[in-house]
Amino acid sequence: MRIMLRYMACVLMVLLLGTLTSMAQSRPSYVGTISVKPVRVLQAGEMLYVEMDIILDQVKVKSAGAVDIIPCLVASSDTLELPKVSLKGRNEYATYERILALMSNSERSDRAIPYLVERNVKPESRTIQYRHTVPYEPWMAKAYLDVQKDECGCGEIAWMEVETVDSVRLDFIPEPYRVIPHMAYVQPVPEPVKNREKQVEAFLDFEVNQTYIQPEYMNNPVELAKIRAMIDELRVDQDITINRLDLIGYASPEGSLAGNKRLSEGRALALKNYLSRRYTFAPSLYHVVFGGENWEGLRKALTNLDEPYKVAVESIIDDYDGQERKDRLMRLQGGAPYRYLLRNVYPKLRVAICKVEYHVKNFNVEEAKEIMKVRPQNLSLNEMYLVANTYPNGSKEFINVFETAVRLFPEDDIAKLNAAVAALSRRDIETAERYLDQVKHRELPEYANAAGVLALLKDDYESTRKYLQIAVDAGLEVAGKNLEELEKREQTDLEIKSRKK
């Protein structure tokens, strides 16, 4: 039924259009004057720009009328019809909207998209600025701009009086010079011994005043599994030797310091006993440490709280220590904030940290290349640098090594600088700028070269010259090549500017 109704609607529209067409054939569709003034037709690189002004002088389209202005590029070998400008009367515009509403998405995508469709219901004088771009093709070198006018949509087209404009001889604007950046990476210092550490925080649950771990008690299964997973990953890796296990117990800051020390050390010792029953590490590898009352953890917890007393609590932590700090917290605002912290925050401050210190064997380049594919965390920055240089400079594999390095060594300045250089080599300005901003020590000429290239890609020529000159003065050869790139870019910019005048 819905299909039949849609079909009947389309038939009615066709009949209506036929009526409108016959009316348009019998008399002009509009009053007033329409003229066209070509502005320019120019080639710029791979594109052709068509610009003209359509001038309306007291134009009013009749209710059932329409007029289409159709620009064309005309040559002896070919003709290209450009998107039209369509002015429609009141009823004709309503019909146009109904037809669009009845079309499916595929039907809409198949139809030619006009440049402009407007309803014209009263006399108006104005200029429609027509600006359109098409891919340049060789035949257009001998083409000129002409314009057709169709008053009825029935194919009876009249050529308008338009000044002939040649598409190529009118103007030619060169494309901006595409800079070829010359990059310099920094080789990290080799590590004779690759010492590493890894740690996990565990929020173990103990019964009140107890120091014995019950593996199935409350959330202990999940927390203990986190510790075992870390140790197991290191223990089964044949390239790793575990040297030390620190078990650090932190206490929440209520009660006495002596009592907290006793509970925290006892709970850390309980964790040692739990691990000793499951692993065959030498007893000398275990070290039980009292981390103290966890005031730092309380500071971090406060950042996530949206409570009016937060600033007052932070001030007490900053300005006092020892028992006075605790007493002032308990008295603050009648004790309500302290009771909230005691119930909701303090339990999470009773944390045990298992920290494993280990070292990783050193690899030659071929070994490191294979390790890079499966366990890149076992490589040093220098080993990653050597792996990167087994690939073509600037290749996907080459860049991927430096981007992996900065993820594994996020605090290392060399890793951040090399990651910025890798991003610049693929013209990722945003990523490069983010990494360069994070570099703390900026005295290396490679940093100045990277900052200069970044400024060049952002068209900041003054900063480009300043940074690159610093790198040149420091003896970095590629910086001189980038200064040459700057000169080429500035020269084409001047040519483009002069031709646009």
**Tally of domains within the chain:** 3
Instruction: For the sheet with 30-44, list strands across it.
Output: 30-44, 47-61, 124-135
The whole-number pLDDT of residue 167 equals 44
Q: Looking at 289, 324, 358, which one is the last position of a domain?
A: 358
Examine the domain organization and report whether 350 and 433 are in the same domain.
no
Same domain, 59 and 131: yes
Q: 264: buried, middle or exposed (CB in 10 Å: 19+, 13-18, 0-12)?
A: buried
Q: Which tens digit of pLDDT belongs to each residue from 406-424?
A: 999 999 999 999 999 999 9
In this structure, the answer to whether residues 367 and 458 fall within a common structural domain is: yes
Whether 151 and 216 map to the same domain: the answer is no
Q: Note whether 101 and 227 are same-domain residues.
A: no
- Residues 350, 213, single domain; the answer is yes
Residue 436 lies in a domain: yes
45: left (phi over 0), alpha (psi -120 to 50) or beta: left
User: Do 286 and 219 fall within a single domain?
Assistant: yes
SS3 175: coil
Q: Do residues 9 and 23 share a domain?
A: yes
Whether 4 has a pLDDT exceeding 60, the answer reads no
Q: State residue 501's pLDDT score.
A: 57
On whether residue 176 sits in a domain, the answer given is no
Residues 409 and 262 in one domain: no
Q: What is the CATH number of the domain that holds 273?
A: 3.30.1330.60
- pLDDT (tens digit, 9 = 90+) per residue, 449-465? 999 999 999 999 999 99
Same domain flag for 296 and 370: no
In a domain? residue 94: yes
Residue 485 lies in a domain: yes
User: Quick one: pLDDT at residue 497?
Assistant: 78
CATH number at residue 383: 1.25.40.10
Is position 310 within any domain? no
Give the least confident one: 92-106, 226-240, 362-376: 92-106
pLDDT on residue 5: 34
Residue 388's closest CA among 400, 380, 377, 376? Answer: 400
Please check whether residue 217 is in contact with residue 224, taking contact to mean a CB–CB distance below 8 angstroms: no
Cα 148 to Cα 151: distance, rounded to the nearest angstrom: 10
The verdict on residue 185 lying in a domain is: no
Q: pTM for this one? A: 0.61
Same structural domain, 59 and 147 = yes
CB neighbour class for 168 (10 Å; exposed up to 12, middle 13-18, buried from 19): middle
User: Which structural domain, as residue segments, surrounds residue 23?
Assistant: 2-159
Tell whether 179 is covered by a domain.
no
At 144-173, the pLDDT tens digits run 888 888 886 555 555 555 555 544 444 455
Per-residue pLDDT of 193-232, as tens digits, reads 999 999 999 988 877 667 788 899 888 999 999 999 999 9
**Is residue 259 in a domain?**
yes
**Domain-terminating residue out of 289, 323, 358:** 358
Q: Which helix (H) or strand (E) holds 336?
A: helix 336-344
Residue 255: how many other CB atoms lie within 10 Å: 12
Q: Kindly state whether residues 24 and 153 are assigned to the same domain.
A: yes
